[in-house]
Amino acid sequence: MKENNSTRCNVLFLGNVVTMDADETVIKDGAVAVCGDMIAAVGPAAQISRQYSPDETITLPKAVIMPGLVNVHTHAAMACMRGLADDLPLMTWLQEHIFPVEGRLKGGMVYDASLLSMVEMIKSGTTSFCDMYLFADDVARAADRSGMRSWIGEVLYDFPSPNYGEPAAGLVYVEDLAQRYRNHPLIHITMDPHAVYTCSPDLLIALKEKAVAHDCPFVIHLSENDDEVRTVIKRYGKTPVYHLEDLGLLDGRVIADHCVMLTEEEIALFAARGVKVAHCPESNMKLASGVAPIPEMIAAGVTVGLGTDGSASNNNVDMFAEMDMAAKLHKVHRLDSTVMTAGQALHLATMGGAAVLGADREIGSLEPGKKADIIVLDFDKPHLTPMYNVASHLVYAAKGSDVVHSMINGKIVMRNRYLTELDETEIMEKVNVMTRTLKEGS
């Protein structure tokens, strides 16, 4: 029964609520009330239903309600290169297949291909992502169109870009981008040097200054594989991590992608400097880069999130598959089944990711006052039956395709697996057409 003074709200979600709050509270028969773009209340359904009068109630017979997943490292537009070339040595893959295709990209293609990735992300439960790519303005346009929450950066390096031309022009480009998106409610611009081996110290420093000026993350591929580390040691006499440290660039603004090759000493340094890490197990596996020492990073207090990397090296952007892979990979690598639990993998994909992006007060959990980024899974499925432990099911048994509803910033972006903001058929068709041009180079 409603209380007389019940509060009006937009949407009431009913089901088992996986809050991902500090105690990782799970509320059986729970509810989440959303007012505008915010979560107003989280608690037992009986209580919340009395307190709120919703315009709409969203539920399912076996609904699991949880925070939208946070993908901390991707190159969305690489959806157009999904499966273009696989099972090749890294340098053959990059130089003979990926780079030639990237040289033929145009902004409009990046827009369409990024939208395709966003469709896939929404349909597999991701509500926020951090993207590094060419034509970032087009990526941002696509993100704006999709309704997703995003952190977007234009990748810079010492050589000319198919987008902005010379590196100096790149600095102008990112400055303009940061200015224009300064007040966007969902899109945050980041400063993205490609990597230590492709960016001069001057370029790294210039981008770090911009990150400070715009109070935004500084995102860089770092210590991804043995080749990179050896190249940098040869050039600078130190590892990629110590190269950045000696340039004075390591601090809480840095999001370091991959970090497969981190030493114990470097992990301690990351913890001391507050450097954040984007862990991409599937890409690291597929490219045979190695296994990042994530359990050690977590033990040392480093903030870690989970990322898919681009679809050319994964070949999907499904964070449910990524959680499963993360938990299993570390167990077998360390021959210890306790070294990464389902709960830890779930944390990496939610609150961990939010903290990597410096947004843990806005997203990553279902708590009053946070932004309403919420997904609903249908657990009334053979592969999710029976149900003993919801975290275990979310990591080891659920699939992205079990997500049926998605809300971002208080707006429903998927209902019953139909996207409300995007026309997925049209987007697929555009990418299919573009693909012919891309591959043939015509």
- Residues 269 to 328 in contact with a copy of itself, rule: CB under 8 A: 282, 284-291, 311, 314-318, 321, 324-325, 327-328
If binding is defined by CB under 8 A, does position 131 make contact with a copy of itself? no
Q: Which residue has the tokens 């080749």?
A: 227
Distance set, CA 402 to CA 64, 188, 254, 321, 376 (Å): 10, 29, 34, 12, 9
Q: Which is nearer to a copy of itself, 142 or 372 (CB)?
A: 142
Among 205, 233, 341, 362, binds a copy of itself (CB under 8 A): 341
- Which residues have C-beta within 8 Å of that of residue 234, sequence separation ≥ 6? none
Question: Cβ 118 to a copy of itself, closest distance in Å?
Answer: 9
If binding is defined by CB under 8 A, does position 83 make contact with a copy of itself? yes
Q: Which of residues 385-414 bind a copy of itself (CB under 8 A)?
A: 385-389, 392-393, 396-397, 399-401
- Cα atoms in the 13 Å half-sphere on the side-chain side of 137: 15
Question: Cβ 365 to a copy of itself, closest distance in Å?
Answer: 21
Q: Which is nearer to a copy of itself, 194 or 430 (CB)?
A: 430
Span interacting with a copy of itself, options 7-15, 28-36, 191-199, 432-440, rule CB under 8 A: 432-440
Among 26, 84, 94, 268, binds a copy of itself (CB under 8 A): 84
Sign of CA dihedral 161, 162, 163, 166: positive
Among 29, 50, 89, 299, binds a copy of itself (CB under 8 A): 89
Among 246, 336, 423, 426, binds a copy of itself (CB under 8 A): 336
The count of chain residues that interact with a copy of itself, using the rule CB under 8 A, is: 73
Among 212, 272, 299, 332, binds a copy of itself (CB under 8 A): 332
If binding is defined by CB under 8 A, does position 440 make contact with a copy of itself? no
Question: Cβ 408 to a copy of itself, closest distance in Å?
Answer: 17
Pairing of strands 374-378, 63-67: antiparallel
Question: If you ran DSSP here, which 8-state letter would residue 195 be given?
Answer: B
End-to-end CA distance of the chain: 66
The span from the CA of 9 to the CA of 63, in Å, is: 20
If binding is defined by CB under 8 A, does position 73 make contact with a copy of itself? no
The encoded tokens of residue 184 equal 């966007």
The span from the CA of 275 to the CA of 242, in Å, is: 13
Among 4, 338, 416, 442, binds a copy of itself (CB under 8 A): 338
The span from the CA of 275 to the CA of 251, in Å, is: 5
Span interacting with a copy of itself, options 42-50, 116-124, 138-146, 353-361, rule CB under 8 A: 116-124
Distance set, CA 424 to CA 113, 367, 417 (Å): 12, 31, 11
Q: Dihedrals φ, ψ of 32, to 5°?
A: -130, 125
Q: Which residue has the tokens 């715009």?
A: 214
Question: If you ran DSSP here, which 8-state letter would residue 96 be given?
Answer: I
If binding is defined by CB under 8 A, does position 337 make contact with a copy of itself? yes
Q: Which of residues 356-385 bind a copy of itself (CB under 8 A)?
A: 380, 382-383, 385
The angle that helices 107-123 and 136-146 make with each other, rounded to 10 degrees, is: 40
Span interacting with a copy of itself, options 151-159, 299-307, 336-344, 352-360, rule CB under 8 A: 336-344
If binding is defined by CB under 8 A, does position 139 make contact with a copy of itself? no
The 3-state DSSP class for residue 289 equals coil
The span from the CA of 1 to the CA of 49, in Å, is: 8
Q: Which is nearer to a copy of itself, 47 or 389 (CB)?
A: 389
Among 45, 69, 80, 186, binds a copy of itself (CB under 8 A): 80
The encoded tokens of residue 361 equal 């007060």
If binding is defined by CB under 8 A, does position 431 make contact with a copy of itself? yes
Nearest by Cα to 225 from 254, 257, 251, 267? 257
Span interacting with a copy of itself, options 2-10, 80-88, 293-301, 370-378, rule CB under 8 A: 80-88
If binding is defined by CB under 8 A, does position 184 make contact with a copy of itself? no
The span from the CA of 114 to the CA of 102, in Å, is: 14
